Structure 1
Amino acid sequence: MDTRPATDQHNRVGLIADTPLVQHMLHQVVADAGYEVAVNTSPERLNATLLDSETIRVWVVELENHDTWDTFLNDLLERVEAPILFGDGDIPGKNDERYPRWHKRMQDKLRALAPVVEPKVDAPEIDLERLLKTTPRPVYTLPDRLKSAPKTELGPIWVLCASLGGPEAVKTFLDLLPRDLPACFLYAQHIDAGCLDALIQSIGRHTELKLVPGGHGSQLENGRVHVVPVNHEIRFTENHGIVWQNNPWSGPYGPSHDHLLKNVVTRFGSDTNAIVFSGMGSDGAIGATEVESAGGTVWAQDHVSCVQSSMPDSADRTGAVAWRGSPEAMAEKLIAWLDSHSTQVA
């Protein structure tokens, strides 16, 4: 099993510009070159902890007034280990005859700093047979108020992000949750696509919730755990349907936690919440900041209970994680959280 961090396989780029127009133009030139735009923001809105993100291979910076940002630029140069591509300050409009030359020049510089690489396809190995042999624990009690929650209204969305060591933690977490929970789950596990059915069988063997594949056209429902496809990006319709896209996830493993969280936030906004479970690397850290910025809640598995705490630790370092605990503690806390929150999603 390859346990190296996935960072050398990412095509993720961070963009920093002080005007929305320049942010938009940089986004297009970077995306056209085959990279994923992981961060696109202005200096004053940048979450500084993302400067330490090991998944961003290059930072592209274009600031119209350098004097205004002297302190920021000094901090950027001292803190960032990834290469930084500074723009030349001369960005022609799209109808300008100089635009194609600028477009090509930026892409050539970007590729020189960090050539586009093919994503890694090997996912962490998982002992699913061992999971099938586990003994379930007594399920936590559903509070009376939640028992009377509307059954037809979609509750908050909780995205479960897991990689190496994650299935054991996720299974423990789900096994303790009672049926009729007024919440919907998306379970994103780094795994080979051919193992997905076995994952659903092993994780879903004892839980009172229903584990189902996140199939194209399926509907998000309370009390269900929708297992996110490995090879297809998914988005969501206005009536809570899942739509497969004709492209893979960004990043080295499928599904990409950062990519998924961004898509869930785009559709569900502050009703998006996330738990980052055990795993290598830092997938989910950037997505966690998007969830927190949108008004959602982010938790992470604690260091002691993880097989590999790199992924939850990375999310925690962004400042987006509100609380950390064991899978058992998270199940109990989720029930209390739901008991004190509204259950309806727009």
Structure 2
Amino acid sequence: MMHADSPQLFIVADNPLQRIALADAMMQCGFDVLHNIHSNRLKPEHCHLLPSLWLLDVEHDDNVLDMIGDDAPLMIGITRAPSPVHQKAYAHWVKTLSDKVIKFLGNAPPLLTEVIELAPEAEVVQQKNVELSREVEPQLVIMEGAEDRPSRHTTSHEQVHVPSHPKKQGHVHATDAIGELNHTGSTDWQYVCILAASMGGPEAVKRFLDRVPVSVPVTFILVQHIDPNMQSVLPRVLSRHNSWQFDTEQSFTEQGGLLQPSLFLKSGHVLLVPAARQIDFGANGEVFAFDEIESDPVKYEPWPGHYQPSINEVMRRAAEAFGSRLMTIVFSGMGDDGSDAVDDVQRVHGVIWAQTASSCVCASQPDHVRASGKVSFNGTPEILAEHLQQFISEQSISID
């Protein structure tokens, strides 16, 4: 039974098993599901319903985004539902998803209790899953929260070999860059800021970017744990309502590699670190993309460790390249990626900030970094954005 004031959701999912699970989970929690359809059945008239939130899990996000419009409230990167046969895992998935929806909407439906238990309707879903599984084999695709599983290239005991590469032109050691707050090279930025994010990260990063004017002399490097096949939708979602330009792997020059830069960091731009291809940096903002390897089916050497891309590794490489011009902000996420590299950033006098636990969808990642004692400022995404502008302004005045 739905209350008249229950938030209304519109589900668009291409996998039939996921559609059933999403509708079941949201109705269990007391949300009003207006429609639950495949993306090829979405029509313009559906957009006139103005749901409280769109839940998208589709293969071609751009087509759906074009139809629903840039201002529509939406949630992407939904973790694939486990089978209801695994009752505890399924109940946990329902609880996690409902918490994220509630946090997004700012209010809970009247029927939602504090503890969500597996409803009897799950048996119906289980039967439907059995019937549908004969026609469609479910795929495990995780957009946010990719850290919930190890990299498919490693196990917890494996060591990943990273090929050595020659020293790059213009690449100075971190100690050579200490104190260079106002770089005099060809760059148009004063600081490089890593945005480290995982589960719940896209929402937090977007709130942050919406509050930072592109005129601030900073360039961002976004390290978001994500399935490589789902990266393409991030720039469009994160750049809504702001003027930040996104550079992706598709922006790399064909001539680039470990000897020639594939891209240069620019003020007013956000570099989205590829999930399936390693990169390195030069002191003047060069971005060096690792070359292809002769190994099938893997096209590029994976990032070291369990996380793809690796926040730890990006922080270490950026610290070596940019020294005290490096800033790192750790946003919402599960796991501890980034906590092992805080010493590398502090050693070159870089700064580390973190999102407050109360404003995170999942506070594990910033909490692990905070536990190091190296975080000098905490705030909501909006407060972090204001503090960034104030910090850079004060540093510029002190230099002058």
TM-score w.r.t. length of structure 2: 0.49
Within the candidate set 208, 233, 239, 1:204 is matched to: 239
What secondary structure, in the 3-state scheme, does the structure 1 residue paired with 2:223 have?
strand
Q: Which residue of 2 aligns with 1:186?
A: 221
Give the letter for the 2:159 counterpart.
G
Is 1:154 equivalent to 2:189 in the alignment? yes
Is 1:175 equivalent to 2:210 in the alignment? yes
Q: Which residue of 2 aligns with 1:289?
A: 343
Is 1:312 equivalent to 2:366 in the alignment? yes
Is 1:263 equivalent to 2:388 in the alignment? no
Per the TM alignment, residue 211 of structure 1 is displaced from its structure 2 partner at its CA by 2.0
CA distance in structure 2 between the aligned counterparts of 1:196 and 1:8, rounded to whole angstroms: 18
Q: Which residue of 2 aligns with 1:221?
A: 266
CA distance in structure 2 between the aligned counterparts of 1:175 and 1:306, rounded to whole angstroms: 17
Identity %: 33
CA distance in structure 2 between the aligned counterparts of 1:204 and 1:4, rounded to whole angstroms: 22
Please tell me whether Structure 1 or Structure 2 has the larger radius of gyration of its CA atoms.
2
Q: Is the 8 A contact 1:184 1:225 kept in 2?
A: yes
Spell out the pairing of 1:1-346 with structure 2 (5 A cutoff).
1=79, 6=148, 34-35=159-160, 152-213=187-248, 215-216=251-252, 217-246=262-291, 247-342=301-396
CA-based RMSD: 2.8
C-alpha distance after superposition, 1:45-87 (max 9, x if no partner):
xxxxxxxxxxxxxxxxxxxxxxxxxxxxxxxxxxxxxxxxxxx
Note closer, same or farther for the CA distance 1:320–1:219 as it changes in structure 2 (3 Å cut).
Answer: same
Q: Is the 8 A contact 1:272 1:297 kept in 2?
A: yes
CA distance in structure 2 between the aligned counterparts of 1:317 and 1:36, rounded to whole angstroms: 29
Note closer, same or farther for the CA distance 1:258–1:4 as it changes in structure 2 (3 Å cut).
Answer: closer
CA distance in structure 2 between the aligned counterparts of 1:12 and 1:263, rounded to whole angstroms: 23
Per the TM alignment, residue 250 of structure 1 is displaced from its structure 2 partner at its CA by 1.4
Note closer, same or farther for the CA distance 1:233–1:329 as it changes in structure 2 (3 Å cut).
Answer: same
What secondary structure, in the 3-state scheme, does the structure 1 residue paired with 2:193 have?
strand
Per the TM alignment, residue 8 of structure 1 is displaced from its structure 2 partner at its CA by 7.0
Q: Is the 8 A contact 2:147 2:225 kept in 1?
A: no
Note closer, same or farther for the CA distance 1:152–1:239 as it changes in structure 2 (3 Å cut).
Answer: closer
Note closer, same or farther for the CA distance 1:161–1:239 as it changes in structure 2 (3 Å cut).
Answer: same
CA distance in structure 1 between the aligned counterparts of 2:150 and 2:231, rounded to whole angstroms: 26
CA distance in structure 2 between the aligned counterparts of 1:290 and 1:280, rounded to whole angstroms: 22
Unaligned runs of 5+ in 2: 1-78, 81-144, 163-183, 253-261, 292-300
Deviates more, 1:175-184 or 1:309-318: 175-184
Note closer, same or farther for the CA distance 1:301–1:235 as it changes in structure 2 (3 Å cut).
Answer: same
Give the letter for the 2:340 counterpart.
I
Give the letter for the 2:388 counterpart.
L
Per the TM alignment, residue 259 of structure 1 is displaced from its structure 2 partner at its CA by 0.6
Per the TM alignment, residue 12 of structure 1 is displaced from its structure 2 partner at its CA by 7.8
CA distance in structure 2 between the aligned counterparts of 1:285 and 1:294, rounded to whole angstroms: 16
CA distance in structure 2 between the aligned counterparts of 1:4 and 1:206, rounded to whole angstroms: 26
Unaligned runs of 5+ in 1: 14-32, 38-148
Give the letter for the 2:211 counterpart.
L
Q: Is the 8 A contact 2:265 2:271 kept in 1?
A: yes
TM-score w.r.t. length of structure 1: 0.56
Deviates more, 1:203-212 or 1:228-237: 203-212
What secondary structure, in the 3-state scheme, does the structure 2 residue paired with 1:268 have?
helix
Q: Is the 8 A contact 1:177 1:208 kept in 2?
A: no
CA distance in structure 2 between the aligned counterparts of 1:174 and 1:333, rounded to whole angstroms: 13
Per the TM alignment, residue 276 of structure 1 is displaced from its structure 2 partner at its CA by 0.4
Give the letter for the 1:175 counterpart.
D
CA distance in structure 1 between the aligned counterparts of 2:248 and 2:369, rounded to whole angstroms: 26
Q: Which residue of 1 aligns with 2:83?
A: none
Q: Is the 8 A contact 1:271 1:296 kept in 2?
A: yes
Q: Is the 8 A contact 2:327 2:351 kept in 1?
A: yes
CA distance in structure 2 between the aligned counterparts of 1:230 and 1:187, rounded to whole angstroms: 11
CA distance in structure 2 between the aligned counterparts of 1:5 and 1:185, rounded to whole angstroms: 22
Q: Is the 8 A contact 2:156 2:306 kept in 1?
A: no
What secondary structure, in the 3-state scheme, does the structure 1 residue paired with 2:378 have?
strand
Note closer, same or farther for the CA distance 1:321–1:162 as it changes in structure 2 (3 Å cut).
Answer: same
CA distance in structure 2 between the aligned counterparts of 1:209 and 1:265, rounded to whole angstroms: 23
Q: Is the 8 A contact 2:187 2:285 kept in 1?
A: no
C-alpha distance after superposition, 1:208-256 (max 9, x if no partner):
2222215431110112111111111111234322111132211223110
Q: Is the 8 A contact 1:274 1:288 kept in 2?
A: no
